[in-house]
Amino acid sequence: MFGSALLFLLLLLELADKVTMKRDLEIAREIQSWLVPTHPPEVPGADIAFATRPQNSVAGDYNDAFFLNPDEAGGKLMVVVIADVVGKSIPAALLMATLQASLRTIAGEGASLVDLVARLNRYACAHSHGGQRFTTAVLSEYDPQTRRLSYVNAGHNAPILRRSDGLLEKLEVGGMPLGINCPVSYETDSVDLRPGDALVFYTDGVVEAFNDQHEEFGNDRWSSVIRALPMMNAQESLQFLMSPVDEFVGATRQSDDITCLVFRSK
């Protein structure tokens, strides 16, 4: 009798722990939703769409697009970023939140792109547990007046620029992921976007998505889908790109977050 009562008590305690954990995850998901944009900004001569599918209730992926001075959006630079914090669930989401806060603060101070990346790397190194909690990222600035996008790729999957004629270019210039070594120098590069071009940012969860046979979607399939992208707006482009990934994966539970951001030049 005593044994049954003890077992019942242990089951109740375990259930209470699961209920508490579920509530904490729901709170974390709600807080995270405040940190990432729900709607893309309106950009003169361009169109943006993005989506994140967490592997769990919260994600370690981060994407953002914002003007440095929202009151004068027409002539100001816009920051476009995608990042992937190593790890999953709440620990990765917490690191993502600190990255977002640091990025917004430093960018708001008017730091150059090179200085922005260097300062983010210093902060990441100070909180990476000896490089174990690093972050890959692509940080960029877009000038709506010149249609030029300057960028730094910090160890992230290279965004793919699909030109209006179907040719593909990769944005690979930069350096190592944030949080591994400090100090370290980063290179910058730029591309001029023309009407009809589509720039696709994504995390490794896209190309590493797998089906029930444990076969990965892969870079070749992803490049083929991007090359076949028709002339359409950013939201339609996003749906076009993610549909083959969804069909490939089916109902298979994934092991990583999946994030994609489409920047379409009009």
- CA 52 from chain centre, in angstroms, equals 8
Q: Which amino acid is at 227?
A: R
The packing angle between helices 89-108 and 2-35, to 10°, is 20
> Quick one: tokens of 96?
């993502």
Strand 148-154 with 135-143, pairing: antiparallel
pLDDT for the residue numbered 183: 84
Q: Is 189 within a domain? A: yes
Domain count, the chain: 1
CA distances to 74, 100, 108, 165, 249 from 143, in Å = 9, 21, 16, 23, 37
Q: What pTM value is reported for the model?
A: 0.85
Residue 30 binned pLDDT confidence (cut-offs 50, 70, 90): low
With respect to residue 115, please indicate whether it lies within any of the assigned structural domains: yes
Domain-embedded: residue 255: yes
Query: In sequence order, what are the beta bridge partners of 262?
Result: 49, 200
Q: Please report the DSSP string for 138-202 in residue order.
A: EEEEEETTTTEEEEEEEBPPPPEEE-TTS-EEE---EESPBTSSSS-----EEEE--TT-EEEEE
Does residue 140 belong to any structural domain of this protein?
A: yes
| Residue 11 vs residue 132, higher pLDDT | 132
Q: Which domain holds residue 86?
A: 47-265
**Is 110 inside any structural domain?**
yes
Residue-wise pLDDT tens digits, 61-120: 889 999 986 554 445 899 999 998 886 666 667 778 788 888 989 998 888 999 999 999
The conformation of residue 230, written as its DSSP 8-state character, comes to: -
Task: Please state, in angstroms and rounded to a whole number, the distance separating the CA atoms of residues 75 and 67.
Answer: 10
Q: What is the CATH number of the domain that holds 146?
A: 3.60.40.10
Position 94 scores a pLDDT of: 73
Which strand (E) or helix (H) includes residue 96?
helix 89-108
Asked if the model's pLDDT at residue 156 lies above 60, the reply is yes
Is the pLDDT at 223 greater than 80, yes or no?
yes
Per the domain annotation, does 35 fall within a domain?
no
CB neighbours of residue 217 within 10 Å: 20
Confirm whether 232 is domain-assigned. Answer: yes
pLDDT at 11: 46
Contact 65, 261 (CB under 8 A): yes
pLDDT in tens, 63-77: 999 998 655 444 589
- CB-CB contact of 141 with 113 (8 Å): yes
Residue 29, domain member (yes or no): no
End-to-end CA distance of the chain: 74
173 in Cβ contact with 153 (< 8 Å): yes
Say what the pLDDT of residue 96 is.
80
